[in-house]
Structure 1
Amino acid sequence: MGVSSALYSGVSGLNANANAMSVLGDNLANANTVGFKSSRTIFGDLLSSSVSGSGGTSQVGRGVGLSTIDTVFSQGTFENTETNTDLAVEGAGFFIVSDPSTGNASNNYTRAGSFRFDADGFLVNPEGYNVMGYELDADGNAVGDLTPIWANTESFTPAEPTANIDLNTNLDSDSVTIATGFDSTDPVTTSNTATSIQVFDSLGSTHLMTTYFTKTADQTWEWNTVVDGGEVTGGTSGELEVVGSGTLGFDSSGDLITIDGNDLYSISGDTSSDPVYPRPTATTNLGDLDWVNGASQDQQVSIDMQTSQYASPSVVVSQEQDGYGTGTLVKLSVDELGNVIGNFSNGTPRELMRIPLAKFTNPSALTKIGSNMYAQSTSSGVPVVGTIGSGVGSIFTNSLELSNVDMAQEFVKMITTQRGFSANSKTITTTDEMLAEVINLKR
């Protein structure tokens, strides 16, 4: 080896440190890029040359080379946002996106979850790539192959007929006894109190259902549920049609102990014994809710009488019913299981599709393709795709994963890289001076 070989060692150091500075510059440039993963340079010495000396054969290094540039997939911190479709991944997973202009021919992968629904109802990233996911079956299970996440913005959710009413009331124990019983043509004078609630049929239409309570003896009440006769087959509009009736029995403390002769407790009349399960309820007569609008004719409504009889004015404490009418889609959101939720105007949410995640055996070998996206490579391995809960990671809504660039660390690396570059330039200038001395030997 000659003196000139030191020049090439210095040049290799300049090239290696220049590449390292480029990596540092890229990291710092993306310090505020959502989902960005920083890179690092790994150097390796070049093949050494053998030289002979009095002590035997030795090796002299020939400089440095760039071994690899690794992507560091450490977890970034989260930023809270006000957008429900902003998603962040905790763990090793990636969102799967695909270019619709190519017919979603191949999938790419990203940690940047700044998604939104476009005008056509597709969930897309800022570059317009479709977020890929699974359709759901009737039981909410992911089925089929990956397909673009899409929601029909003009869809309806079907009605659900009312099947249950929870009625929490107190019936005044001091009410007068009406021994004649209930008369649907004269409900005011043949009942002591009443409560009304809207119920839904199978078409989503509402009907006013009223339950009248009549005290027929001490600790004994009669209940009668009615609807307008014009809404059921054979009835007359403006006249009440009885669709269910029965009795309520109370003990001397005012606690309800029987409904339609069925005990609420394992020992009849003993409220300290075990409650009967399932709890007896009042129920409309099967076939009486035969709506004239063409809705289902077999609707039956169960009324859970959570009723007391105390010496206090009759009052409805609370009442609610299940069932709902048809609804239009008013809002789309994503939950932490990756479910795309459609919120409808009738107040009912519905799971439409599910977002999976993909993870790789060697994510550092993924190919960067720009716009915060990666492509599979031969060294990365094939992706393992799964839904949340299958070990691919977790999703956080209203959140974005920030860049994992540590600016303080990058600046420290910048100092050492600059020093390394300067030191190698000094090797070149010093070697040049040595060569000049050799040339001067001729003079």
Structure 2
Amino acid sequence: MLRSMYAGVSGLNSHQQMMDVTGNNISNVNTIGFKSSRVTFKEMLSQTIQGASAPQANRAGTNPQQVGLGVGVGSIDSDMSSGNLQSTGKTSDVAIQGDGFFVLRDGNNQVYSRAGNLNFDENGRLYSSSTGMLVQGWMADANGDYGDFNAQNIGDVTLKQEINAVATDKVRYGKNLDAGAMNNLEILEQNLELADGAGNTDNLQLSLTPVDGQHNTWDFTLSASETTTNIASTGSNEISGTLITNNNGEVSLFETSGGTDLTTGFDIVLNGGTAINMDSLVDSAGNSITNINEGFLIAENGDTSINANLAFEQTAKRNIAVDVFDSQGGKHTVVLPLEKTANNEWQISDSDEEFSVDGITGTASLGGDHTISFDENGNIEGGETVELSFTPAGPGVEQTVELDFNAVTQFEGSMTANFSNVNGYEDGALESFSFTETGDVVGSYSNGLTQTLAKLGLANFSNPSGLSRQEGVFQTTSNSGDPELGPAAQGGFGSLAPATLEMSNANLSQEFTNMITAQRGFQASSKLITTSDEMLQELVNLKR
């Protein structure tokens, strides 16, 4: 009877421990990263009343007679399965999808956690909000490289609060220059009603047609209404030829198809009368000029009200503006004019009024005019790079920037040439940060740059259930194995889910069921004690 009473006591103790574990699971149902536990029982030592006997010739064998002495706790196992993920929208929250633990520093010791509610302190160090312990990882260098992911290199994850200014030393250009781009030459007005002293009159008409495939070249025709008119001593009332200018509108060729140069003027005879002298390229005062925009292509000598007035506009040009930075982070706008100077040839001129760099002392220079040439297939074949030099007013030291045109093409179509990449930047202050699925910590700065700053370290164990719990974190034991450190989403480590948290994996339906069975087991064990007590009472009453 005493044995049964003590067996009941062991049942009370064991089911009380089961209730304690169940209560802990239920109380932590909302603890992020919590891993539930379970209790398993084992039978305690049995007392042998009679041992087993072997079968004999005329008698069967007998089994051992044993009385159990109660129940004990066989194990308390941790369930290391993943909990459900909860989206929080908070950039400093992160959850592990799969195997692994966050690595935290507790003084000189490393501990481990699945809780990803992280934050940064005033020194920019990443820490666990639940414990205040510092999160461990690998810091990136200026190029975003980490080196080896090992225990020797792991350390505190610290945000870089500022990015220092870096001077621009290279600008890359790309996209297309229009191979078919042409400058515009148009006749604004023409008043070519002529009359000689003999009473003869006629009206002349000038027309222009751009020549395909030739830069700044136009075919012209000058024709009279009367067939008796003789233009430029050709014996015809119509002449035609070629007009060529440069990119400023200065005439370099004005001659008939027969080779007669018209730039010095020509005569027109109406119906065999007196010759009328026509000037070429004169201003309103009759003075010689070279630029179409400064006067008239042709005019009657002594009467400039009778003229053909033309206007030249340089439209085969592409101005590209780009911001570059000096060593102190000062921003300077570089305006680069690319003008077509011939078929398959474009030029940037140091002397072009539109070529400029603001915020400098002195003038910017390309070392002279720079020509970019293209082959018949539209690919660049000359002038791929040129160096731009200027002295920023702030630093006061000459800065050189390489302008790279290797990616520029020349095909007929849209004029899209522009800069494609500029290095260098102004200084910037940290504005926000985020995590990636591979564990990178990415900072966003006020200068518009993002920079990879660090990578969170994860730890894996051959037996994660062998870890021991201490104040909301896990510690290694002799049965957990040593931690294997590495980055997320590599080598068996789980990936990260930014802006989410891992919820507790405690299953309430299972826990309430366990609570009922623990209660019934405890109740039955207590009934065993009271029944044994009543039997003892009956035994004592035999003497009465």
Deviations 1:262-303 (A, max 9, x none): 6xxxxxxxxxxxxxxxxxxx53424x4254555675531112
Question: Is the Cα–Cα contact under 8 Å of residues 90 and 499 in structure 2 kept in the other structure?
Answer: yes
Distance 1:142 1:33, change over 3 A: farther
Q: Secondary structure at the match of 2:22?
A: helix
Q: What aligned pairs does 1:184-333 form with structure 2 within 5 A after superposition?
A: 192-201=316-325, 203=327, 204-216=329-341, 219-224=343-348, 227-228=355-356, 236=363, 245-248=370-373, 257-259=378-380, 261=381, 283-286=384-387, 288-291=388-391, 293=395, 297-303=399-405, 304-310=407-413, 315-316=415-416, 319-328=419-428, 329-333=430-434
Candidates 129, 132, 141, aligned match of 1:128: 132
Candidates 39, 42, 45, aligned match of 2:43: 45
Q: Secondary structure at the match of 2:50?
A: strand
Tell me whether 1:402 sits opposite 2:527 in the alignment: no
Distance 1:116 1:381 in 2: 29
Write the letter of the residue equivalent to 1:23: V
Write the letter of the residue equivalent to 1:11: V
Q: Secondary structure at the match of 1:92?
A: coil
Write the letter of the residue equivalent to 1:325: Y
Question: Is the Cα–Cα contact under 8 Å of residues 360 and 384 in structure 1 kept in the other structure?
Answer: yes
1:98 aligns to what?
105
Question: Is the Cα–Cα contact under 8 Å of residues 199 and 323 in structure 1 kept in the other structure?
Answer: no
**1:175 offset after TM fit, Å?**
3.5
1:419 aligns to what?
520
Write the letter of the residue equivalent to 1:16: S
**1:63 offset after TM fit, Å?**
0.6
Distance 2:123 2:20 in 1: 41
Distance 1:411 1:308 in 2: 76
Candidates 153, 166, 173, aligned match of 1:145: 153
Tell me whether 1:18 sits opposite 2:22 in the alignment: no
Distance 1:347 1:154, change over 3 A: closer
Distance 1:350 1:367, change over 3 A: same
Write the letter of the residue equivalent to 1:377: T
**1:13 offset after TM fit, Å?**
0.7
Distance 1:92 1:193, change over 3 A: same
Between 46-55 and 126-135, the greater mean CA deviation after superposition: 46-55
Distance 1:360 1:214, change over 3 A: closer
Equivalences, count: 401
Write the letter of the residue equivalent to 2:96: V
Distance 1:422 1:160, change over 3 A: farther
Question: Is the Cα–Cα contact under 8 Å of residues 15 and 521 in structure 2 kept in the other structure?
Answer: yes
Distance 1:180 1:229, change over 3 A: farther
2:173 aligns to what?
165
Write the letter of the residue equivalent to 1:40: R
Distance 2:138 2:88 in 1: 26
Distance 1:95 1:315 in 2: 53
1:368 aligns to what?
469
Between 220-229 and 381-390, the greater mean CA deviation after superposition: 220-229
Distance 2:146 2:423 in 1: 24
Q: Secondary structure at the match of 1:337?
A: coil
Distance 2:332 2:504 in 1: 56
Question: Is the Cα–Cα contact under 8 Å of residues 162 and 201 in structure 1 kept in the other structure?
Answer: no
Write the letter of the residue equivalent to 2:15: N
Q: What aligned pairs does 1:21-36 form with structure 2 within 5 A after superposition?
A: 21-36=19-34
**1:146 offset after TM fit, Å?**
2.5
**1:393 offset after TM fit, Å?**
2.5
Q: What aligned pairs does 1:53-64 form with structure 2 within 5 A after superposition?
A: 55=62, 57-64=64-71
Candidates 78, 81, 87, aligned match of 2:85: 78
Q: Secondary structure at the match of 2:135?
A: strand
1:9 aligns to what?
7
Distance 2:412 2:183 in 1: 10
CA RMSD after TM alignment = 3.1
Question: Is the Cα–Cα contact under 8 Å of residues 243 and 289 in structure 1 kept in the other structure?
Answer: no
**1:196 offset after TM fit, Å?**
2.3
Between 54-63 and 121-130, the greater mean CA deviation after superposition: 54-63
Candidates 423, 426, 437, aligned match of 1:336: 437
Distance 1:436 1:386, change over 3 A: same
Distance 2:316 2:336 in 1: 11
Gaps of 5+ in 2: 54-61, 185-214, 217-243, 249-290, 292-311
Distance 2:372 2:147 in 1: 48
Question: Is the Cα–Cα contact under 8 Å of residues 183 and 314 in structure 2 kept in the other structure?
Answer: no
Distance 1:98 1:214, change over 3 A: closer
1:89 aligns to what?
96
TM-score normalized with structure 1 length:
0.80
Distance 1:202 1:295, change over 3 A: farther
Write the letter of the residue equivalent to 2:103: I
TM-score normalized with structure 2 length:
0.66
Distance 1:60 1:437 in 2: 22
Question: Is the Cα–Cα contact under 8 Å of residues 230 and 236 in structure 1 kept in the other structure?
Answer: no
Tell me whether 1:117 sits opposite 2:117 in the alignment: no
**1:420 offset after TM fit, Å?**
1.3
Question: Is the Cα–Cα contact under 8 Å of residues 192 and 212 in structure 1 kept in the other structure?
Answer: no
Deviations 1:288-340 (A, max 9, x none): 42545556755311123244334xxx754765432241232322322222222
Tell me whether 1:108 sits opposite 2:236 in the alignment: no
**1:116 offset after TM fit, Å?**
0.7
Distance 1:81 1:90 in 2: 15
Distance 2:511 2:11 in 1: 19
**1:429 offset after TM fit, Å?**
1.9
Question: Is the Cα–Cα contact under 8 Å of residues 134 and 356 in structure 1 kept in the other structure?
Answer: yes
Question: Is the Cα–Cα contact under 8 Å of residues 34 and 114 in structure 2 kept in the other structure?
Answer: yes
Deviations 1:370-396 (A, max 9, x none): 1x2112222222211112213233222
Question: Is the Cα–Cα contact under 8 Å of residues 73 and 364 in structure 1 kept in the other structure?
Answer: yes
Between 160-169 and 37-46, the greater mean CA deviation after superposition: 160-169
**1:60 offset after TM fit, Å?**
1.1
Which structure has the bigger radius of gyration?
A: 2
Distance 1:375 1:426 in 2: 41
Question: Is the Cα–Cα contact under 8 Å of residues 386 and 392 in structure 1 kept in the other structure?
Answer: yes
Distance 1:191 1:49, change over 3 A: same
1:270 aligns to what?
none
Question: Is the Cα–Cα contact under 8 Å of residues 42 and 72 in structure 2 kept in the other structure?
Answer: yes
